[in-house]
Chains A and B, each alone.
Chain A
Amino acid sequence: MNQQINRRNFLSATGALTVSVMMPGIAAAAPTAGLAKRPPLDPKKLASYITINANGTATAYFGKMDMGQGTDMGVAQMVAEELDLPVSRVFVEMGDSASSVNQGGASGSTGVSHGGATLRNAAAEARRQLVNMAAQRLNVAADDLTVTDGVISSKTTPTKKVTYGELIGGRWFDSEVEWNGKIGNDLAVKSPAKLKDPKDYKVYGTSPPRRDVAPKILGTGKFVTDIRLPGMLHARMVMPPVAGAEPVSVDESSIKSIPGVKVIWQKAFLGVVAPKEWDAVKASRMLKVTWSETKAPFVEQKNLYDHIRGAKSIKSGGEGPFMKEPAKVDEAFKSAERVIEATYEWPFQSHASMGPACAVVDYKPNGITTLWTGSQKPHFAGDGVAALLDLKPEQVRGIWVPGPGSYGRNDAGDAAAAAAIFSKAVGKPVRFQAMRNEATGWGPKSPASVHTVRAGLDKDGKVVAWHFHSKAFDRLNVSSNESDPSDTLHGQMIGVKPKAQLTYGSPSNSYKFDVRHLSWDVVPPMLESASPLRSSHLRDPLGPEIHFAHESFVDEVAFATNSDPVAFRLNYVSDQRDKDVIDAAAKKAGWQPRTAARKQRDGDIATGQGIAYSTRNGTRVAVIAEVEVDTKTGKVRGKKFTVAHDCGIVINPQLLTQTIEGNVSQALSRAIHEEVKFDTKNVTSVDWETYPILDFTERPMQIDVVLINRQNIPPNGAGEGSMRPIVAAVANAIYDATGIRLRQGPFTPERIKGGAA
């Protein structure tokens, strides 16, 4: 933590920033006029979060970033609201370790709930400071002042007024906020400033458009792939044919025809650099390498779930009061009149971002090394590069530049490490971009899992016991954080030992059963280091698969007890807001109660409707999916999705709605297409043919979004909550359409036809 602060001091002192160290004494001499120079980044300083520019606009410094869902606009709205500025005059600068403190990057949908809340508090404090300055300047009491659009005026003598710009424009706040001592997602600040009463909100609930859209469409914005530096070289990796194999010999003469090419080889890390990008690509393909003989590391794919079931548990965990009293769970099941059990299986899935990850590193051992990255966590990624290069964290500046979307811990964090290794090896700036097979095949995966769910019923069919158990690969075989080279593919390839986290998760909802037990076991990775099946976070980590199992099973129990799935949920769900989303989705979708699959058919086409619900860190979502199943081909079409969504107060309804639409469509892709294929030697899903995703022709025909706006409840994250229940809703809809209960995903034609047989 302290390291972080020192790092910023260092950056300032070495002139890497556009700011320099504050002159001692200035603050004391003119407390209200602000500082001419920005003080070093420090989570305690108001100036680390916000400034008023010379023209009276405000800039907020966001230590996270936006992945294209408009988080930065949400933050701008929160800041504008507290500052009483129109949102058009609030700017957000994000994802640069030289201009913002480390708020954790994009992580866990905390952009607004945590990151935004911090900047909102900073904005309220800035307003308080400005009003005090105005009181002094205008010689009136602070509580006689009111602010409209950045103009502070006296309520009693309206001619007495002064603007934000006149008070401090172009200078920096010289005051502190109360910092909770944490960095990353948990960083929070407070101040004596009173937050605006939600009933006075003007900017919340409006939908100003995003600012990154036009540059992305006009082609005027830069992506990380477009960063070019003088003297920069291009790098490509040469990956082993069998996962875990290492180069034994490398025949450099095989590429001697390529001008300026150089081989970089450190242990398992083998790559090439060249001044021209195409030459690097060619060289990586032409280089003759002899690889070590290595045992094929993976089980056959058809045995994957048996492997998980049979593997020894290396870590157990769970949730709830019965973790300490497992005997009570057994008792409850013993006393049950009837026990229902089902097992669900979910494969590895890949981030498979639109472009292979790219990073540029300019290694400067005696100055500031710079990392340009598409990583969601540029501050942490910069720390990771520092550790990899034996530099101090303060010697590396991490700059986020939009990249191919990342949805969690994708290959971007690995590319940063690769570029760093290359740049140090050649002493020049290096741009590394992976090839498609690396992005899909070698990027981190979401872990494959087996979920076993049991329900004990009494003689009236009431649920008296419930046990949800997952057995799976590690949720974080590589951490999503990126500050430690052991969590990167290329770090592991140069010999940094992996440090698996050994953790998993549990369903999130408010079902109330007399005995409800949630537990999990983690099984060892099939390949310890540099595995193309190393697992990490993929958008809504574990959410789709865990809730596929949970919500499918809820339907199974509902039907087994002759209940309607919506009524069953409303009966057992205990939280009123959760009931409200279920109710809202059912009403909007015109839900017809049923106690068995309806199997509606029109020729070969079966149609059905399914519900699922889940919560995620305070956000609750219910969805009703309507699907068509072509019983001839086995193809599933996600026709219509009705999503009821409650994430507290809604800041920007338009952007929220589009975020939900994206989640629905991406989740549909995962539901019907996505499964990482592998053989015993390596991952064989290496491109869009072998890892298909949703096609344009398969997009949902309709997505109806019901936003439940809770004016008095602070905003919770909305980036992932609606990803969570979709897969289950699709499974339940397929069942309603066909009577086929799919307990293994994805829901491909083969599985549908297999289920029908």
Chain B
Amino acid sequence: MAKIALNVDGKSHTINADPDMPLLYALRDDLGLDNPKFGCGLAQCGACTVIIDGQAVRSCVTPVDSVGKGKVTTLAGIQKNGVPHKVQAAFIAEQVPQCGYCMNGWVMTTVALLEKTPKPTDKQIEDALTGLKCRCATHVSIMRAVKRAAQA
């Protein structure tokens, strides 16, 4: 057990945890931030995605002590002043989710993509989103939403 400092959604926290505990459990279990979801724990699905310093990261395989001074953003932290992020607005407008359990991964990965590549080509979108899973198979809605967000 060790004292570990985390900066999440602009707030500082200190938790007491195993250094090798995945960040996902710190967010969910210690901080009560439930938007990153446990999907596989194996870096195979993206449900646990958070953004650390602009990079989409799979928190289920990220040891909590490796985050260091990195600024962690969760789905709850991408709204500004209560206004949904343009990616969120697009996913809502396209009514993308079915069960919604995967959506954290798709939204957060798209946010990271558009930060770096505001006007992505279809190929760039595919390269960024390949590997993420949606078992309800909402892929065609997701594509519509990502394009809408890129145009917003």
Asked if A695 CB lies within 8 Å of chain B CBs, one says: yes
Q: Are B142 and A696 in contact (CB under 8 A)?
A: yes
Cα distance A676–B132 when bound, in Å? 20
Is A325 at the interface (CB under 8 A from chain B)?
no
Cβ–Cβ contact A405 & B132, under 8 A = no
A201 at the interface (CB under 8 A from B): no
Task: Tell me, yes or no, whether A725 is within 8 Å of chain B by CB.
Answer: no
Q: Determine if A433 and B100 form an interchain contact, defined as CB atoms under 8 angstroms apart.
A: no
Flag if B37 contacts A355 (CB, 8 Å).
yes
A216 lies within 8 A of B29 (CB): no
B40 A219 Cβ-Cβ under 8 A: no
List residues 92-125 of chain B with CB under 8 A from any CB of chain A: 92, 95-104, 107
Interface residue from B100, B129, B139, B140 paired with A216 (Cβ < 8 Å): B100
Residues of B within 8 A of A435 (CB): 41
Contact residues in B for A694 (Cβ distance below 8 Å): 137, 139
Across the interface, A654 reaches (CB within 8 A) one of B18, B88, B95, B130, namely: B95
Choose from B37, B96, B98, B132 the contact partner of A217 (Cβ within 8 Å): B96
Indicate if the CB atoms of A218 and B84 lie closer than 8 Å: yes
Q: Whole-angstrom distance from the CB of B37 to the nearest CB of chain A?
A: 6
Residue of B nearest to A667 (CB): B137
Q: Which residues of A contact B84 (CB under 8 A)?
A: 217-218
State the CA gap A406–B98 with chains docked (Å). 11
With A216-B97, A218-B84, A354-B135 given, is the CB distance from A436 to B28 under 8 Å? no
Is B53 part of the contact surface with A, judged by Cβ < 8 Å? no
- Residue from the set A228, A403, A436, A669 with the largest chain B CB neighbour count within 10 Å: A436
Q: Is A223 in contact with B34, judged by CB distance below 8 angstroms?
A: yes
Q: In the bound complex, what is the Cα–Cα distance between A163 and B143 (angstroms)?
A: 45
Check A68 against B100 for contact (C-beta < 8 Å): yes
Chain A residues lying within 8 Å of B133, measured Cβ to Cβ, are 354, 688, 693
Q: Does B74 contact A (CB under 8 A)?
A: yes
Q: Is B42 an interface residue (CB 8 A)?
A: yes
- Taking A355-B38, A699-B143 as contacts, is the C-beta distance between A666 and B136 under 8 angstroms? yes
**Residues of the B chain whose Cβ atoms lie less than 8 Å from the Cβ of A216:** 97, 100, 103
Contact with B along A339-378 (1 / 0, CB 8 A): 0000000000000111110000000000000000000000
Asked whether B29 lies within 8 Å of A354 as measured between CB atoms, the reply is no
Q: Does B5 contact A (CB under 8 A)?
A: no
Q: Which residues does chain A contribute within 8 Å of B47, judged by CB atoms?
A: 354-355
Contact indicator B92/A658 (Cβ below 8 Å): no
A405 in contact with B135 (CB, 8 Å) = yes
Among residues of A, the one whose C-beta sits closest to the C-beta of B125 is A696
How far is B88's CA from A212's CA once the two chains are assembled, in angstroms? 14
A226 touching B34, Cβ below 8 Å: yes
Collect the chain B residues with CB atoms within 8 Å of residue A736's CB: none
How far apart are the CA atoms of A209 and B89 in the complex, in Å?
14
Kindly list chain A residues whose C-beta atoms are within 8 Å of the C-beta of B28. Answer: 277
Interface residues on A, range: 35 or more
Interface string of B6-44 (1 = CB under 8 A from A): 000000000001100110010011001011011111101
Q: Which residues on B sit within 8 Å (CB–CB) of A687?
A: 40, 42, 44
In the bound complex, CA of A225 to CA of B143 (Å): 27
Check: B66 CB closer than 8 A to any chain A CB: no
Q: How far is the CB of B1 from chain A (nearest CB, A)?
A: 9
Separation of A687 and B38 alpha carbons in the complex (Å)? 13
Chain B hits for A249, CB < 8 A? none
Give min CB distance, A432 to chain B, whole Å: 12
Least distance between A695 CB and chain B CB atoms (Å): 6
B96 partner residues in chain A, CB cutoff 8 A: 213, 217
In the complex, B141 has a CB within 8 A of chain A: yes
A70 to chain B, nearest CB (A): 8
Q: Is B72 an interface residue (CB 8 A)?
A: no
CB distance from B112 to the nearest CB of A (A): 15
Decide yes or no whether A700 CB sits under 8 A from chain B: yes
The answer to whether B103 touches A228, judged by C-beta atoms less than 8 angstroms apart, is: no
Using known A-B contacts A219-B75, A354-B99, A405-B99, determine if residue A696 contacts B136 with beta carbons closer than 8 Å.
no
Give complex CA distance A515, B129 in Å.
51
A703 interface residue, CB < 8 Å from B?
yes
A282 to B29, CA, bound (A): 14
CB distance from B33 to the nearest CB of A (A): 9
23 residue pairs A–B, Cβ–Cβ below 8 Å = A217-B100, A218-B75, A218-B79, A218-B84, A219-B75, A219-B104, A281-B25, A281-B41, A354-B47, A354-B135, A355-B37, A402-B99, A405-B101, A435-B41, A662-B136, A665-B139, A666-B135, A666-B136, A688-B45, A688-B133, A693-B133, A695-B130, A696-B129
Interface on A for B, CB 8 Å cutoff? 67-69, 209-210, 212-214, 216-219, 221-223, 225-226, 228, 234, 276-278, 281-282, 352-356, 402-407, 433, 435-436, 654-655, 658, 661-666, 668-669, 687-689, 693-697, 699-700, 703
9 additional A-B pairs beyond A68-B100, A662-B136, beta carbons within 8 Å, are A217-B84, A217-B100, A225-B38, A402-B99, A661-B138, A695-B131, A696-B126, A696-B142, A699-B139
